[in-house]
Amino acid sequence: MKSWIFSFLIITIFWSCKDNQSPQISNIPHQGVIAEKAMVVSAREEASEIGLAILKQGGNAFDAMMATEMALAVCYPFAGNLGGGGFLVYRLVDGSKGSLDYREKAPLAATKDMYLDQQGNVIPGKSTIGGLAVGVPGTIAGIFEAQEKYGLLDVATVLEPVIQLAEKGFQISETQEREFSALDSLFTVVNGKTILFNKSAKAGEILQNKVLANTLRLLVAGGSNAFYEGVIADSLVAFFQRNGSIITHEDLKQYQPVWREPITFQYKEYSISSMAPPASGGICLAQMMSMIKPFKIKDYGHNSLKTIQVLVEAERRSYADRNYYLGDPDFVDIPTQHLLSDLYLMQRMENFSFERATPSTEIQQGNIAIYEIDETTHYSIVDSFGNAIAVTTTLNGAYGSKLFADELGFFLNNEMDDFSSKPGEPNMFGLVGAEANSIAPAKRMLSSMTPTIVEKDGELFMTLGTPGGSTIITSVLQTVLNVIEFDMGMQQAVNAPRFHHQWLPDEIRMEPQTFSPELLGKLEKLGYIFSDKPTPILGKVDGILVLDDGRLEGGADRRGDDTAVGF
């Protein structure tokens, strides 16, 4: 790839991830939207409203999931998608919990070295833009599977308001105008022509996507089969062939979402359920919270020196394990029980000291000798029946591979970059991986997504999650702790400044202009290193908290255009 395109890509990735970073936190209300019965919190007001309208029509959280997710694909194509994948964690009103993995997969023709040159070096951009970056999409299979199993309404009713949104159009936000303009030339280069989202689109204008409305009608008529084997599949595969993708009809035909047991663990009086591999969120969140549990962080204080030290050191150790042990459980044996055992996690923290930072060079993955054989844009909804869902879905980078299927009206993901193209070589989020996350045909790439549901005394307490690449897990961690350790409400917990450490690179990313120079100075003295690079987003957390009186409080992250609505 031409080097200017690559440099441009890097700048735009940081830029578009930063988008609404650093809001004036002091101007943000402490309390979020309050509702009596039901709530939807998502990245766009239109999508939240459509989800809520479905709930008002008698639909449940799974109907609202389908509507919200497709509405995001219309009005938030940054991440909302038909061409990507995601994870759902749910808790039904009877207390039963489960999760659905609709993560993308590597194409059948994928090979371990597909992004390396002849010298074995990673070719910049090859796993992030254009056809070769695209994983086999899982979103349509996922939302149809979930809605068919648990939904109450028919698909035509659920998708009608979304079709109307695509037909009539949505108002372009200022953020979107900036994104479209910044990505203007990249959209043109990748697609070989201008697309619907080139820079002519201005804030305040209405953007219609009639082609996508038509694709949604085909889905109403033919179900997810239309996407994987029918008329949409034909158009998509022809598009893939024209654009350098190796995805075939067979790839689409073989795609299946997978119901998986969530990772459930106890933190004090809370039971927390989050996504299992191929998402790393559940295991890492469980590890970090177990490592943090023995420390009295409530007494240390929110975002105090000692609290930051404990969290950073737990994060560092957990990411070292993530990067070595985690991958697609259908392909690699993951020592889950060992990784989550109290004894193991206590040993991991044995070399932690408040006197100095533990350099990442002194931390490797933990030593696990015996493998257990055979073990393997976020939105939150609570419906008036008492069901709750947490869904994180993505195209990976902003607008995915930038490849836009103009005859179908949607972007394709660049999820292949979540694989480890070469052991030790950082991906787009600076994450390094190992053999467990190497590329193989039909394998799912490791994810950081962390859709999470928290129960207190056996009752629903909170549902939350966030985008943010590698920072997802630490953003969810801090938001949960803000509520359960530092007594914040949902909105306040979402607003609070965040920080992130991922083992490598050995640096803390602090949310800009939110931590005092004095505190940073103290951390620096103890040997902590700060990133001087542009800080990508530290998540845009959307969550719902059940208040003591049973009402719901929404937390919509003002770092984006996120909105909570309820009734």
Contact stretch for ligand DON (CB under 6 A) within 18-26, 132-140, 167-175, 463-471: 463-471
Supply φ then ψ for residue 521, to 5 degrees: -60, -40
Tell which one of 394, 420, 452, 463 touches ligand DON (CB under 6 A): 394
- Classify burial at 168, counting beta carbons within 10 Å of its beta carbon; exposed 0-12, middle 13-18, buried 19 or more: exposed
Q: Which of 161, 366, 400, 469 binds ligand DON (CB under 6 A)?
A: 469
Prior bond of 278 cis (ω within 30°): yes
The SS3 call for residue 324 is helix
Looking at beta carbons only, is 392 or 495 nearer to ligand DON? 392
> Nearest distance from residue 128's CB to ligand DON, in Å?
11
Stretch that binds ligand DON, among 176-184, 232-240, 467-475, 523-531 (CB under 6 A): 467-475
Stretch 497-536: interaction string toward ligand DON, x if CB under 6 A: ----------------------------------------
The residues in 399-418 that bind ligand DON, with binding defined as CB under 6 A, are 415, 418
DSSP 8-state symbol, 399: T
Residue closer to ligand DON, measured from CB, 285 or 537: 537
Closest separation in Å from C-beta 432 to ligand DON = 14
Nearest to 34 by CA among 547, 538, 558: 547
Q: How far is CA 466 from CA 308, 380, 448, in A?
A: 20, 10, 10
Q: How far apart are the first and last CA of the chain?
A: 51
Minimum Å distance from CB 521 to ligand DON?
A: 30
**Among positions 262, 277, 465, 468, the unique one binding ligand DON when judged by CB under 6 A:** 468
446: DSSP letter: P
When asked if residue 83 is in the footprint of ligand DON (CB under 6 A), the reply is no
474 binds ligand DON (CB under 6 A): no
When the beta carbons of 17 and 494 are compared against ligand DON, the nearer one is: 17
Stretch that binds ligand DON, among 268-276, 285-293, 468-476, 517-525 (CB under 6 A): 468-476
392-404 b/e (C-beta count within 10 Å ≥ 16 → b): bbbbbbbbbbbbb
Q: How far is the CB of 149 from ligand DON (least distance, A)?
A: 23
Phi/psi of residue 490, nearest 5 degrees = -65, -50
Nearer to ligand DON, 451 or 469 (CB): 469
Cα separation, 400 vs 256, in Å, equals 21
Q: Which amino acid is at 64?
A: A
Task: Kindly tell me which of 60 and 173 has the beta carbon lying closer to ligand DON.
Answer: 173
DSSP string, 197-249: TSTT--TT-EE--HHHHHHHHHHHHHHHHHHHTSHHHHHHHHHHHHTT----H
Dig out the tokens for 226 from the structure: 């239309």
Toward ligand DON, which CB reaches closer, 415 or 485?
A: 415
Which of 376, 452, 466, 471 is the catalytic position? 376
307 or 401, CB closer to ligand DON?
401
- When binding is defined by CB under 6 A, the residue of 467, 489, 543, 555 that contacts ligand DON is 467
194: which DSSP letter? -
Residue whose beta carbon is closest to ligand DON: 447
Decide: is 135 part of the binding site for ligand DON (CB under 6 A): no
127 CB contacts (<8 Å, ≥6 apart)?
115, 133, 414, 416, 417, 419, 421, 427
CB of 447 to ligand DON, least distance (A): 3
Minimum separation from the CB atom of position 396 to ligand DON (A):
4
Q: According to the binding rule CB under 6 A, does residue 17 interact with ligand DON? A: yes
**Given the rule CB under 6 A, which of 36-44, 208-216, 289-297, 462-470 is the region that contacts ligand DON?**
462-470
CB of 320 to ligand DON, least distance (A): 17
Q: How many angstroms separate the CA atoms of 97 and 113, rounded?
A: 38
Instruction: State the Cα–Cα distance between residues 4 and 60, nearest whole angstrom.
Output: 48
Beta bridge partners of 388: 91, 382
Minimum gap (Å) between residue 103 Cβ and ligand DON:
8
Shortest distance, position 132 Cβ to ligand DON, whole Å: 16
Least distance between ligand DON and beta carbon 238 (Å): 26
Q: Nearer to ligand DON by C-beta: 137 or 151? A: 137
Q: Is 84 in the site for ligand DON (CB under 6 A)?
A: no
**Helices assigned H by DSSP within 277-330:** 281-292, 297-300, 305-325
Nearest to 344 by CA among 326, 327, 321: 321
Nearest of 29, 61, 36, 64 to residue 50 by alpha carbon: 64
What residues between 433 and 452 interact with ligand DON by CB under 6 A? 447-449
117 with 480: CB under 8 angstroms? no
Q: Is 106 in the site for ligand DON (CB under 6 A)?
A: no
**Residue of the chain from 396, 420, 438, 495 that contacts ligand DON (CB under 6 A):** 396
Instruction: Please confirm, yes or no, whether 376 is among the known catalytic residues.
Output: yes
Strands 552-556 and 459-465: unpaired
Question: In terms of CB distance, is 86 or 386 closer to ligand DON?
Answer: 86
Cβ neighbours of residue 551 under 8 Å, at least 6 residues apart? 34, 35, 36
Q: Which residues are catalytic?
A: 376
Q: Residues in the site for ligand DON, rule: CB under 6 A?
A: 17, 394, 396, 415, 418, 447-449, 467-469, 472, 537
